[in-house]
Each structure stands twice: as C-alpha cells, then as structure tokens.
Amino acid sequence: MSKAIVVRKAGGPEVMKLEERDLPPPGPGEVRVKHEAIGLNFLDVYHRSGQYPVEAPFVPGSEAAGVVTAVGPEVGAFKLGDRVCCRGPMGTYCEERNVAANRLLPVPDGISSEIAAATTLKGLTALYLLEMTWPVKKGETILFHAAAGGVGQIAVQWAKALGARVIGAVGSDDKEAIAKKLGCDEVINIRAVPDYAPIVAKMTGGRGVDVVYDSIGRDTFERSLDCLRPRGLMVSFGSSSGPVSIADLGILAAKGSLYLTRPTPAHYFADRQVELASAARVFEMIGNGTVKISIGQTFALADAAKAHEALASRHTTGSSVLVP
C-alpha cells in the first residue's frame, strides 16, 4: 500500500484527499521510485482547479526525487538504489509510484533529493526560457516577473551569469528584498506600483527591455507589452492571475511590432538526449554555485491543501516541497 493525494473532482484545495492505494510491481520499462521529496508547482494548481482539465480521479504533481526500489523488465538505464528525479508524468503527490524509466533523470552526487525535487522542472524552465526561447546575451536587459518565486530565483541568478541586466518584478516589500539579494539590478513592487511600464521606460532610458518573462498572466500581460522595446519578445509562460487572451493581434503591431510566444517544457524537451543534457546543465549550475537554491517552504504530503493555498495566494518565496 502507498499513500497518495487524490483529486476526484476539480475544485479548490479542499478536493485533495490523502488516500491509500495498491501499488503493483513495476511493469516492462518501469521502475518503482520511493519519493523523498516532491516539488510544488503552479502547474499543480492549474490541474487541481480544472484550469488545465484532467480526467478525474488523478494524483497531481509533476516533480519529485527519490530512490529506485524496484526495477521492472526491459530496464537498462537504472538499477536498485539509484537516485532519480522527474519532471513528469503527472502523479508525484505520493509516497512511491511506478514510472517509466525513460521519464526519469539521474541525480548527481552532491545534489540532495530536496534540491532535485525543488528544481528539476523549475530549473529546466529557467534553462529553456533563457537559453532556448530567447538566448540571452551579455548586455541585454530583461524583465522577469515573480523574481522571488521558484522559477524566478533560479532565472535571475542564471541571467546574471549570462551577463544580462535584470529588472525583477515582485509583489511585496519582502520579495523585493529577496530579488535584490539574488542580484537583480532593479526591482519593482508591482502591487505597490501597478502601472510599472513608465518605471521600466525610465530605467532603460526610454528604450524598453529586450524580453519580458511573464508567469502572472492576465493581470500583467498588457502592461508588460508596454515595457518592451520595438521588436522585443513577450514570453508568457504561466497564468497565476488567470489566462491571457488577445482579441486583436494588431496590439502587437501598435506597440512596436512585438513578438509573442507561449512556450512549454514538453516542446523543448521532447528529445530524450536534449532533456538529459539540459538536466545535467541545470545540476551543473547548482553544483558549481552559479545558481543557489532556496527552499522557502516545506509541507507534509498530507498538508498538500495548505501548500496549494500558500502558492495560489502568492505568499511563497523560492521553491516549495512536499515531504512524504
């Protein structure tokens, strides 16, 4: 038997219930992983709430780290005792599970399970945003929303290592202090100053930023467009305040022939070798100290509802993990 958080219908945090379930032996191509830490992501909130529809019942969660405790037939990549992590498939809010071996990533020595669970998906997100969606170059200026959040903290440090000038957008004075400590060149508390585009214009001498990375969505989308230089790129990679819709693409022309993209990890890491190499780079950046990971909150697996409440209210800083 294994305990897991199960969602039987979409809704608020209260729909997540801790249940016991049978766990059969791993099948062909599968291994069993005993989770030591489980990553918490806003994607989990989208699934639980129904914003991204998932057939119920389901176990949420797309990030975890642990140890291989059983190996099914036709598995050559992993053995008993190997330390592994994943960025999917969904179903990580559990003590242990069977998962396809080709969805797992090796965790190198020196990286704890807590760090791996807190950074696999977030670190890969930072990588594809900064090195693949728009390869950030030395001297470029970016605006990164939720700079004190899980992805934001990694991305700010990574962008600074690439030589970028980083303007961080946050939602409180406490988060402003965190963003400054991370290395942001300038920080804006957009809750205190909702009309932040003129501030960005002043910071950039009227030019605007090269790229905006926006995970907030509806509340910030149009103002973020106003922060871009002509032919700059708007990267909308989340929607914590609600989904974005554009009634008229002409707005991109009117604001400077802007580019717009809505990337997802699935399309950047569809190739297994690219995924393995990218994960190795993420752990290298952490291992050599270029990116320092802050786990701001730890919750018991049974308290997943409390964790979702904290995440949705934007009261978390850094990464959050669930512990079975």
Instruction: Report pLDDT for 110.
Output: 93
- DSSP track, 28-75: TTEEEEEEEEEE--HHHHHHHHTSS--PSSB---S-EEEEEEEE-TT-
pLDDT in tens, 11-31: 999 999 999 999 999 999 999
Averaged over 286-292, what is the pLDDT? Answer: 96
Instruction: Give the chain's domains with CATH numbers.
Output: 2-120+294-323 (3.90.180.10), 138-262 (3.40.50.720)
Tell me if residue 98 falls in helix, strand or coil: strand
Task: Kindly tell me if the per-residue pLDDT of 294 is higher than 90.
Answer: no
Q: What is the pLDDT of residue 134?
A: 96
Residue 21: beta bridge partners?
2
Q: What DSSP element (H or E) covers 100? A: strand 96-100
Written as one string, the DSSP assignment of 126-169 is: HHIIIIIIS---TT-EEEEESTTBHHHHHHHHHHHHTT-EEEEE
The whole-model pTM stands at 0.89
Rg value, the chain, Cα: 20
Query: Given this model, what pLDDT does residue 246 score?
Result: 82
Indicate the DSSP class of residue 321: E
Read off the pLDDT band of 315 (50, 70, 90). Answer: confident
Given phi > 0 = left and psi -120 to 50 = alpha, else beta, which region is 129? Answer: alpha
Residues 6+ away with beta carbon under 8 Å from 260? 233, 234, 236, 246, 252
How large a percentage of the chain has pLDDT more than 70?
100
Tally of helices (H runs) and strands (E runs) in the chain: 10, 15
- The band of 239, judged by pLDDT with boundaries at 50, 70 and 90, is confident
Whether residue 122 is predicted with pLDDT greater than 80 in this model: the reply is: yes
CB 279 within 8 A of CB 108: no
pLDDT given for residue 274 in this prediction: 97
* Alpha carbons 116 and 293: distance in angstroms, whole number: 10
Q: pLDDT value at position 269?
A: 95
When pLDDT is cut at 50, 70 and 90, the band that residue 319 belongs to is confident
Are the C-beta atoms of 200 and 227 separated by less than 8 Å? yes
CB atoms within 10 A of CB 179: 28
